[in-house]
Structure 1
């Protein structure tokens, strides 16, 4: 559920900042954060930076819609195990207190 509203100046700046903080990381390096319950998975069709930006500016409406649609969710044990078994690298960005992750489109594990 991506909204096509133009970004405010603040949101655009925040999204640019988040872009510089985005990196590919192997799941093995994220496991301890998973154990703490702070890793959130972003659906593959969503824009990781848009979700991170909306979370960072507390856009409750957008975040709630993604959460209720299952497009933003805590990583499940089953998914964590698959990522571990395949040594999956994930796009990551920190929006405190969470680490948002998304599988690269060419690397989806089913």
Structure 2
């Protein structure tokens, strides 16, 4: 059995910067969830793994965790930002656009 710290470390290890072109197929299948830049991407992933429905529901109600909107996908397709970070928490791919130079 893994401890929460081990799970958190595993998520950190699976989180990486990614190009939009690799996320597009997941967007087309409706698998992308956008995590607001104000949240810790790994913390959100941990909440999904732990089935912390209160946290997830709260973020969704505040529009801090949403299905990726068509307009955002079009924007990322056009800009191809190099500040996208993602982690797979099946069946979802969590994606976050971070400010340039952000260590979050």
Give unmatched runs, 5+ long, in structure 1: 1-8
Instruction: Note the alpha carbon deviations across 1:27-85, whole angstroms, 9 max, x for none.
Output: 11110100000000000110000000011111011000001110000100000000000
Gaps (5+ residues) in structure 2? none
Deviation at 1:11, TM superposition (A): 2.2
Structure 1 runs (4+) deviating above 6 angstroms are: none
Partner of 1:6: none
Per the alignment, residue 79 of structure 2 pairs with 86
Aligned length: 99
**What's the counterpart of residue 40 of structure 2?**
47
How well do the aligned residues superpose, as a CA RMSD in angstroms? 1.3
Task: Indicate yes or no: 2:8 matched with 1:15.
Answer: yes
Q: Tell me, in whole angstroms, the C-alpha distance in 2 between the residues paired with 1:53 and 1:104.
A: 19
